[in-house]
Amino acid sequence: MSVVLTRVDDRLIHGQVVVGWGQALVPDRIVLADDAVAEEQWEHDIYRAAVPPGIETAFVSVEEAARRFAEWDRAPERTLVLVGSIEACLRLCAAAPGVRAINLGGIHQADDRRQRLPYLFLSESELAQLEGLEERGVTIVAQDLPTSPAVALDELA
């Protein structure tokens, strides 16, 4: 059934992902694509504990996620892909042309960021980079939960 959601969320696997999106999309697999987490078995154990039984959890680097994205997109399983930052999202999209849509979930406060939505803070640079990505054909929508309004990128400026 392919990749059903590719999401940027700096909390990675947490309640909104597992409960909110999990109930709506019923994924068979959650891919956590994060270079640091991929290296640490103890972090796998923590995040895996948050995932209900029956859902496979894969921990990969962003590079591996990009390499395997097409494979997941062709597979019969429903896959939800998570990255933890705009930077990782841009690397994923640059190396995986199959990524056609990005969901902006929780991206939180940092020094140079401005609040765009209650759950979304972006710097001007990050916004510009996302606009560039959208110009290359990737649909970008902010939406923390399936029941929340979807907000287009041009409404975040």
CA–CA dist 57, 59 (Å, integer): 7
How near is the Cβ of 54 to another protein at its closest, in Å? 14
CB nearer another protein, residue 89 or residue 96? 89
CA distance 90 to 126: 10
Q: Which is nearer to another protein, 68 or 116 (CB)?
A: 116
C-beta of 12: minimal distance to another protein in Å?
Answer: 6
First to last CA, the chain: 34
Phi first, then psi: give them for residue 151, nearest 5 degrees.
Answer: -115, 120
Q: Which is nearer to another protein, 43 or 70 (CB)?
A: 43
Is the CB of residue 72 less than 8 Å from the CB of residue 31? yes
* Interface with another protein (CB under 8 A): 10-15, 18, 42-43, 46-47, 49-51, 84, 106-109, 115, 118, 121
Q: How far is the CB of 151 from another protein (least distance, A)?
A: 17
In the complex, minimum distance from the CB of residue 84 to another protein, in angstroms, rounded to a whole number: 7
Give whole-number Cα distances, 27 to 52, 53, 56, 71, in Å: 11, 12, 9, 16
For another protein, give the closer residue by CB, 32 or 90.
32
